[in-house]
Structure 1
């Protein structure tokens, strides 16, 4: 009996639907389920004050904060320390309602800031004011700057990140700003926003923050949407958004710094790529630094994040990106591109995290170095022709150290960490997976010794 092509086609489509239904059932919670938000009530006082960069160059600064109650007017009051003059700027306020409660999110822009000056400020809602905070602008007379990079924070309630971040602040008090690669919060709920803010409450009002969205800042669904509190907390995104992509760039000293949103559904990545190419093409700065949440070259599987790689990596290479900062995969990894003779070249790709959660990894031969079962932070120091990357463990031990030197002779990537032992401790795996990890880790150690 001969079966028609039409019946074969519809039979094949039926099998695809059955397989798709099974996969969706297995992955339903991962792809579509959002936990109910815990109820909350915010007090009327201004709180969770966050200083960020603005949208008008390296001298621009924004501030955001939240409050409860019924807000009529948001204001920013500030003074140049020692001047005796006080300015009051009208801010903006927006009512946000979520499943657990409501809040007013507020933001304002500083005006006429100058190089090297220090400023004191507080924010208002109606007749209620925050505490006074202060910050210092970068000097104009040097090409030197530094910043702290932290991967995923993603802490549980009553977690340990505050002690971690306090230690970083103590170690590097003069850093210019902080960059976080997404998953700043564990879930899109107010209680996790409060937990995340408490972890950086001594940093956020006084050092500018740049934060890329992570998948934990997204509300799951057929089309994922960014948690509404995110863009108002990091208010530079309100003006830098491009075709519904949460992207941002700033020229700071002799660097162009770019943040991308790798969480978008595939059809959004085309327009994000368009924006990235235009931004890189227009940059005349010596250094180009990009931050996004998902690693371009995954350490959890070679096909993971492949759309992100296809969209962005060719542009990184074509337009001379020096450093790509990433998170998401809760381990440490550093990768450099290689020429045919094995010489290291840019871009340098860095994966890091500061979360108490550790994930499995797959050892990828493209990478130079890994680290597991620890929390890490990075100090990036740019001085003239040299960009130096140093990674530290939670106990402040140096874990990785390398330089990119860029001058008339070309670009040189120098690895100073070859004699620093790698930490390849087994994560939470058990049974067959644990044995497989140990075998792969041993192969990696032998590979490193051969090299």
Structure 2
């Protein structure tokens, strides 16, 4: 089956005032003390967590210590020490080491405290709470692309999101975490989230910027597999990039959309795996998170070949929510006019952006709600037969809000929150994107977005 070919045009746009991470003074010198601590869900979320961190090259021992959290500092008798592993922090570069440890056989719905180190030099104590083993209400954060100017502009976004929802159970990222997988960009990424990453697990799917070109070949990030420890249940060759997690009644599926456009084997393996994971889902809800949008929101983008393959699969298995990035705008809707004949349950498609790169909206509007030139974070709550999505600007103001309510036949009803009718859409075209529109398209844009 023909899959698709992605035409990447994003490099045309320039964010005014941007300073490349490569041009800033380097702050990434590793020491004997653990830094860049990242908490991941590596398996069953009720009983397992993984942690990764970085040190200087001479620190060969990898240890994690964990105990059930107490009301005070008196838990030393209950500490368990777990051996980890180490490898180069960046593949092929011996200047720093990355470390990983897996904490398993944990109790459901229990708060633990942990630290990582080598026995002499330790991180501070962090803490996390495992999920319930049952179907219970929870909520999580969804973030679009960070990509560039992360320290300057994404720091306040992720800190605002955490301050607003400190009890979110994990953070879901829709790709393009960095503009290029090098030390300076990752330094900014970890500066922005710092200890938040060590406290709330991150589930991330790759974007096209997690790949780069070498000798006419697309090469995957040399840091990703050291930073993230995801379930190893993905298709052959895409482990740790495509995967799924069953969390309290929801199946979350990471679908590495860029890889399926770069490699023939990935295309074949992913399609088969995607069918199997969605067909054999015991949960009430299904959320797919991927980088490339099924329906584009930005002017000049329309991945028809990709959509022709992916959309029927999403519709066939009744996927409820599709969380995406890539387009540096905001939009959400079901696009019911283009639903296929064999659609079991029309998915709700969302595209969002967390970072400062901004594009203009597509004049071929399909969404119920849209936005441009705004940084956003989403809090998504799951409770029984209802998923509620609340979208906030970086200043903490509500921008969009809707619910999906599932009936006995598994069909969702979309209910838009009444307060949204009073919130003006922010849809201005960025100055640096205006040359992407003809005069006729600008007129159409004003008609569709600037009423």
User: TM bucket by the smaller chain?
Assistant: 0.7 to 0.9
Q: Is 1:252 the equivalent of 2:252?
A: no
Q: Kindly report the root-mean-square deviation, in angstroms, between the aligned alpha carbons of the 2 structures.
A: 2.9
Residue 430 and residue 320 in structure 1: after superposition, are their counterparts in 2 closer, same or farther (change >3 A)?
closer
8 A Cα contact 2:46 2:130, kept in partner: no
Residue 240 and residue 408 in structure 1: after superposition, are their counterparts in 2 closer, same or farther (change >3 A)?
closer
Aligned to 2:414: 413
Separation in 2 of the partners of 1:190 and 1:223? 21
Residue 278 and residue 141 in structure 1: after superposition, are their counterparts in 2 closer, same or farther (change >3 A)?
closer
What CA deviation, in whole Å up to 9, does each residue of 1:232-270 have, x standing for no partner? 211116x33422222110111111001011111152222
Aligned to 1:8: none
Higher mean Cα deviation, 275-284 or 91-100? 91-100
Q: Is 1:93 the equivalent of 2:97?
A: no
TM-score in terms of structure 2 length: 0.84
Superposed displacement of residue 306, structure 1:
3.0
Separation in 1 of the partners of 2:434 and 2:222? 41
TM-score in terms of structure 1 length: 0.84
Q: Is 1:398 the equivalent of 2:398?
A: yes
8 A Cα contact 1:335 1:368, kept in partner: yes
Superposed displacement of residue 311, structure 1:
2.8
Aligned to 1:15: none
Separation in 2 of the partners of 1:331 and 1:101? 39
Task: Report the 3-state secondary structure (helix = DSSP H, G, I; strand = E; otherwise coil) of the residue aligned with 1:76.
Answer: strand
Superposed displacement of residue 151, structure 1:
0.2
Paired residue for 2:96, among 81, 98, 103?
A: 103
Aligned to 1:440: 444
Aligned to 2:218: 224
Aligned to 2:55: 67
Higher RCO, Cα 8 Å, sep 6+? 2
Task: Flag the structure with larger Rg.
Answer: 1
Task: Report the 3-state secondary structure (helix = DSSP H, G, I; strand = E; otherwise coil) of the residue aligned with 2:225.
Answer: helix
Map 1:203-242; keep pairs closer than 5 Å: 203-221=196-214, 222-236=216-230, 239-242=232-235
8 A Cα contact 1:41 1:101, kept in partner: no
Map 1:158-307; keep pairs closer than 5 Å: 158-221=151-214, 222-236=216-230, 239-245=232-238, 246-264=241-259, 265=262, 267=264, 268-300=266-298, 304-307=302-305
Higher mean Cα deviation, 75-84 or 85-94? 75-84
Aligned to 1:428: 431
Paired residue for 2:139, among 142, 146, 149?
A: 146
Task: Report the 3-state secondary structure (helix = DSSP H, G, I; strand = E; otherwise coil) of the residue aligned with 1:78.
Answer: strand
Task: Report the 3-state secondary structure (helix = DSSP H, G, I; strand = E; otherwise coil) of the residue aligned with 1:213.
Answer: coil
Higher mean Cα deviation, 58-67 or 86-95? 58-67
What CA deviation, in whole Å up to 9, does each residue of 1:193-214 have, x standing for no partner? 1110111113111111101111
Separation in 2 of the partners of 1:339 and 1:157? 37
Task: Report the 3-state secondary structure (helix = DSSP H, G, I; strand = E; otherwise coil) of the residue aligned with 2:237.
Answer: coil
Tell me, which stretches of 5 or more residues in structure 2 are unaligned? 1-6, 13-20
Separation in 1 of the partners of 2:313 and 2:335? 14
Separation in 2 of the partners of 1:286 and 1:141? 12
Task: Report the 3-state secondary structure (helix = DSSP H, G, I; strand = E; otherwise coil) of the residue aligned with 1:107.
Answer: strand
Report how many residues are paired: 415
8 A Cα contact 1:187 1:217, kept in partner: yes
Residue 424 and residue 101 in structure 1: after superposition, are their counterparts in 2 closer, same or farther (change >3 A)?
farther
Residue 414 and residue 339 in structure 1: after superposition, are their counterparts in 2 closer, same or farther (change >3 A)?
farther
What CA deviation, in whole Å up to 9, does each residue of 1:260-288 have, x standing for no partner? 11111152222111111110111011000
8 A Cα contact 2:46 2:109, kept in partner: no
8 A Cα contact 1:345 1:413, kept in partner: no
Q: Is 1:123 the equivalent of 2:126?
A: no
Separation in 1 of the partners of 2:433 and 2:258? 30
8 A Cα contact 1:72 1:126, kept in partner: no
